[in-house]
Amino acid sequence: MTQRSLPRHVSPRTAKPRVTSLTRRAAVLACCATAVAMLLPAQAGAQSFPTKPVKIVVAYAAGGTIDNAGRRIAEDLGTELGQPVIIENRGGANGIPASEYVARAAPDGHTMLLTSVPAHAGNKAAYKKLPYDTINDFIPVTVLSYQPLVLVAHPSLPANNIPELIKLAKERPGKISYASFGVGGLAHLAGVQLNLLGGSEMNHVPYKGGGPAIADVLGGHVDLYFSGVTTVLPLIAEGKLKALAVSSAKRVKSLPNVPTVAETPGFGSFEAVVPPILMVPAKTPAAVVARLHAALYKVTHNEAHRAKIEKAGEGDVLTSTPEQSMEALKKEVDRLALLFKAAGIEPE
């Protein structure tokens, strides 16, 4: 049997095997098999998720607007996921410790961060250095809702609306104080807007969360606080606090007689709402993120949950997609950077 002749410039050792349609098909099938094999563990993990209790780390102390939002969904979310959902409060420093904790947690969906879009975005402008990357260390699962704030005051404050408050603040420069749940948080930024639009000099006093802030307004240690509506409704009804204005573009149903800040002449551009956002660590599998989003959507769009939001007057249920939530977060980072610059606030 004679060897098949080769061209003179090609030796038997360097001759390349002939590639046929059959070998190409085999190569494609092999690649497909490898891809499927790589996807199977991820799919299996998503199908079995969660395998243990899910922890929602709230970036603020118990009793505030964000904490209430988490506790409102925890039980139903646990039922939907088939595992208990535990609330863990890690308040302080406007949510930075909680954010750092979640950023470093295992990216498996079992640890979630609950904070607000303005607070998380504002920290980037408020602090020179953070122990995490505001955007790249997290995957937003959803923005839950847009919740208005209500500006409440101790009953002894001689002002009952925004015009009277601004007049008083100008008469007492540096003497009127407003609380917040941290530097760069929405309550802080709402006060910044008031000062900018009104030409006043009210002092900012940061707290570790809404609960401690409200306690000091009740005690007369600080004059004002932009609070979540639900948190202070009973206190307003009992006369322990008085409502001066709400921060949304329109009035809220639970406080129909309280005007918006924007109704005051010269304050038409004012709006400050709290969008609670749930996030997981970066590198959490997309299938797990999708599972969490689907469960949250189902929980927040049932009639019982809508009734709670309606009663509290806390705004509309959103449950935005992860992509929409990330877009909102990025836009807020840019907006607050401009606001801090306009207010002359230097990063700490």
Q: What is the pLDDT of residue 323?
A: 96
Query: Is 87 within the bounds of a domain?
Result: yes
Q: What is the pLDDT of residue 313?
A: 59
**17: pLDDT confidence band, cut at 50, 70 and 90?**
very low
Q: What is the CATH number of the domain that holds 86?
A: 3.40.190.150
Q: What is the pLDDT of residue 316?
A: 65
Is residue 7's pLDDT more than 50? no
- Give the domain-ending residue among 273, 296, 316: 273
Residues 126 and 157 in one domain: no
The mean pLDDT of 211-216, rounded to a whole number, is: 92
- Give the domain-ending residue among 257, 273, 289: 273
Residues 218 and 118 in one domain: no
Residues 59 and 85 in one domain: yes
Nearest alpha carbon to residue 274 among 337, 182, 202: 182
Q: What is the pTM of this model?
A: 0.73
Provide the number of structural domains found in the chain: 2
Q: Residue 178 has which token pair?
A: 């407003």
Cβ neighbors of 204 (< 8 A, separation 6 or more) are: 177, 178, 180, 183, 188, 191, 192
Whole-number Å distance between alpha carbons of 182 and 185: 5
Cα 227 to chain center, whole Å? Answer: 16
Amino acid at 217: V
Residues 136 and 152 in one domain: no
**154 within 8 A of 220, measured Cβ to Cβ:** yes
> What are the tens digits of pLDDT across the range 165-178?
999 999 999 999 99
Is residue 246's pLDDT more than 70? yes
Whole-number Å distance between alpha carbons of 242 and 183: 24
Is residue 28's pLDDT more than 90? no
Strands (E), the chain: 54-58, 85-89, 111-116, 138-143, 147-153, 177-180, 203-206, 224-228, 242-246, 273-274, 276-281
Report which secondary-structure segment, H or E, holds 103. Answer: helix 96-103
Q: What is the CATH number of the domain that holds 249?
A: 3.40.190.10
Is residue 110's pLDDT more than 90? yes
> What are the tens digits of pLDDT across the range 310-339?
666 556 676 789 999 999 999 999 988 888
Residue-range definition of the domain harbouring residue 141:
52-146+275-343
Residues 211 and 266 in one domain: yes
pLDDT-above-90 percentage for the chain: 58
Whole-number Å distance between alpha carbons of 58 and 74: 12
**139 within 8 A of 282, measured Cβ to Cβ:** yes
CB atoms within 10 A of CB 69: 27
Residues 298 and 334 in one domain: yes
The mean pLDDT of 153-163, rounded to a whole number, is: 97
- Give the domain-ending residue among 273, 300, 326: 273
**39: pLDDT confidence band, cut at 50, 70 and 90?**
very low
Q: Give the single-character DSSP code of 151.
A: E
> What are the tens digits of pLDDT across the range 48-88?
899 999 999 999 888 777 888 899 899 999 999 999 999 99
Residues 122 and 264 in one domain: no
Query: Is 126 within the bounds of a domain?
Result: yes
